[in-house]
A and B are shown apart, each in its own frame.
Chain A
Amino acid sequence: MRLPKFDYRRPERIQEACAILLDQPCAKLMAGGTDLLVNMKHRAETPSTIVSLKALPDLDFVQKTNSALRIGALTPLKKVYNDPFVAAKLPALAIAASSVGSYHHQTMGTIGGNLCQQTRCKYFNQSKWWRSSRPLCFKAGGELCHVAKREGVCYSTYCGDVAPALLAFGAEVILTGAHGLRQVPLEEIFSGDGKTPLKIGRGEILTEIVIPNQAADGFSTYGKSANRGSIDFPIVGAAVWRSSSTGESRIALTAVDRKPVRARRLEDFLEGKQLNEETFQAVDGLVAKESRLMPSSIDSLSYKRKLMGLLVQSALSEARGGE
């Protein structure tokens, strides 16, 4: 499948990359390309210009500082989960990164590209030929959403594996633009809108992930259910973090909404409570309330709902084992 034509830029400085993005509204960033190029082959995305981040220096690192673990946006997933600190102290991140696609995607794909990946839908992630049997959907440039059967909305689902682990850690990200940088909670870069899932300013690039030290002081895990365990996106994925000093819990899910979601109602419910069969009974109901499931994948909503409860419960019982 040939790629559509595009102009190709390969800036060597971040400011230059930001300037191209500002100058060319239809340009797209490319890190590892394992998400973007597939969509382009399908003509689901057709940017006029690709701004490759591959020549930018100094964004491929995992670095421990006094207050945080800092990860450069261009760090390949494999390097993230092979990092000794991540493997020993941040297991949810190690498990999530090593569950992305196959070994090849983990070698080529970056952590920044994973967080910023496109949302997915059974009507969008298809070849142009497949999609030609229906009018273009809203996300692909048309009017109608085939999932919601309404115009002007998009319920495509965020399916990234790494975001829930980082949300559970309370991670922040650094966004670099032409006029400097800002650090925001990871949660804030997701718009919750399927058509434009990222809330990153025009001309901004995600350059770094900052995981506070607190994250390493506690239990964490990530669980994922996929059609083929070997290479598939999650049907549902769930990360749980539980502090060993305060007993605070943070729970986040992927593939259940247009953005990765924190299960705040469940977190509040678990506050100060022991993890036991009684508390587990509330999990299903509370988790289900956090998501906005829509039939944008081939899996039924009731199946997804069941998986959400099961994955969170299983992670919590693992946490209980450690307490």
Chain B
Amino acid sequence: MKQAIALEVNGDTYEVLVSPNQTLLEVLREKLGLTGTKKGCDLGACGACTVLLDGAAYLSCLMLAVDAVGKKIVTIEGLSQGGELHPLQKSFVELGGLQCGFCTPGIIMTAKAVLDEEPQPTEESLKKKMAGNLCRCTGYKKVLDSIMGATARMGGER
């Protein structure tokens, strides 16, 4: 049975009618039109659907929308502030951390969660935490360079 729920996404509250079997990914993309979050494998194995839930990196394809009630959800659309790209986004643009760009929203959201908990990660720690975000174009080198570049830019800021 459908139920009305309120989701807080990127600081705005949305009232939506959902069935329990709808994932957060489906609701973000199909009900709220927030198509920045990508549907990749849809089985929790590629990281493309990563969003932040109360600051932590969640796979929105393995999360029921009804379970996201009461959480602060942030998607790639919510990162820029007043038209200014987030330092992570700037770094990806400047250092060429993307090619086709499909995996990029998920990568950036995971990177945001990682840097928020560990502002100056070692390369080893970063590689381990980013390993669940697959990319078929870049070969990962420039992805990691871009995240490391952003740590310098952010200087511990969020």
Query: CB-CB < 8 A to A103: which residues of B?
Result: 57, 110, 114, 128-132
* Contact of A7 with B20 at beta-carbon distance under 8 Å, contacts A34-B59, A103-B57 already known: yes
- Taking a contact as CB atoms closer than 8 A, the residue among A2, A5, A8, A107 that contacts B64 in the complex is A8
Q: A33-B62, A37-B23, A41-B42 are in contact. List 6 more A-B contacts (CB 8 A).
A: A2-B26, A5-B19, A34-B59, A103-B129, A107-B56, A231-B45
Query: CB-CB < 8 A to B129: which residues of A?
Result: 103
Q: Which applies to chain A's interface (DSSP): helix, strand, loop or mixed?
A: loop
| Contact between chains at A2 and B59 (CB < 8 Å) | no
Q: Does B21 contact A (CB under 8 A)?
A: yes
8 Å CB interface, A13-50 against B? 33-34, 37-38, 41, 50
A–B Cβ pairs within 8 angstroms, 22 of them? A4-B21, A5-B19, A6-B21, A8-B66, A10-B66, A10-B67, A33-B62, A34-B62, A41-B42, A41-B43, A52-B64, A102-B132, A103-B57, A103-B129, A104-B57, A104-B132, A105-B59, A107-B113, A108-B62, A229-B131, A230-B132, A231-B132
Q: Does A148 contact B (CB under 8 A)?
A: no
Query: CB-CB < 8 A to A6: which residues of B?
Result: 20-21
Query: CB-CB < 8 A to B44: which residues of A?
Result: 34, 37-38, 101, 104-105
Query: CB-CB < 8 A to B19: which residues of A?
Result: 5
Query: CB-CB < 8 A to A8: which residues of B?
Result: 20-21, 64, 66
* Interface, chain B (partner A; CB < 8 A): 19-23, 26, 42-45, 47, 50, 56-59, 62-64, 66-67, 110, 113-114, 128-133
Query: CB-CB < 8 A to A107: which residues of B?
Result: 56-58, 113
| Contact between chains at A101 and B132 (CB < 8 Å) | yes
| Contact between chains at B110 and A2 (CB < 8 Å) | no
Query: In the complex, what's the smallest C-beta–C-beta distance from A208 to chain B, in angstroms?
Result: 22
* Interface, chain A (partner B; CB < 8 A): 1-8, 10, 33-34, 37-38, 41, 50, 52, 54, 98, 101-105, 107-108, 229-231
Query: In the complex, what's the smallest C-beta–C-beta distance from A209 to chain B, in angstroms?
Result: 22
| Contact between chains at B43 and A230 (CB < 8 Å) | no
Query: CB-CB < 8 A to B22: which residues of A?
Result: 3
Query: CB-CB < 8 A to B58: which residues of A?
Result: 104, 107-108
* Contact of A37 with B57 at beta-carbon distance under 8 Å, contacts A5-B21, A230-B131 already known: no
- Taking a contact as CB atoms closer than 8 A, the residue among B23, B56, B133 that contacts A3 in the complex is B23
Cα of A98 to Cα of B129 in the assembled complex, Å: 10
Cα of A100 to Cα of B131 in the assembled complex, Å: 12
- Look across to chain B and name the residue whose beta carbon is closest to the beta carbon of A37: B62
Cα of A289 to Cα of B66 in the assembled complex, Å: 47
- Taking a contact as CB atoms closer than 8 A, the residue among A5, A102, A108 that contacts B131 in the complex is A102
| Contact between chains at B21 and A108 (CB < 8 Å) | no
Cα of A4 to Cα of B23 in the assembled complex, Å: 11
Query: CB-CB < 8 A to B63: which residues of A?
Result: 33, 108
Query: CB-CB < 8 A to A52: which residues of B?
Result: 64, 67
- Look across to chain A and name the residue whose beta carbon is closest to the beta carbon of B59: A104
Cα of A38 to Cα of B44 in the assembled complex, Å: 7
- Look across to chain A and name the residue whose beta carbon is closest to the beta carbon of B130: A103
| Contact between chains at B21 and A105 (CB < 8 Å) | no
Cα of A301 to Cα of B112 in the assembled complex, Å: 42
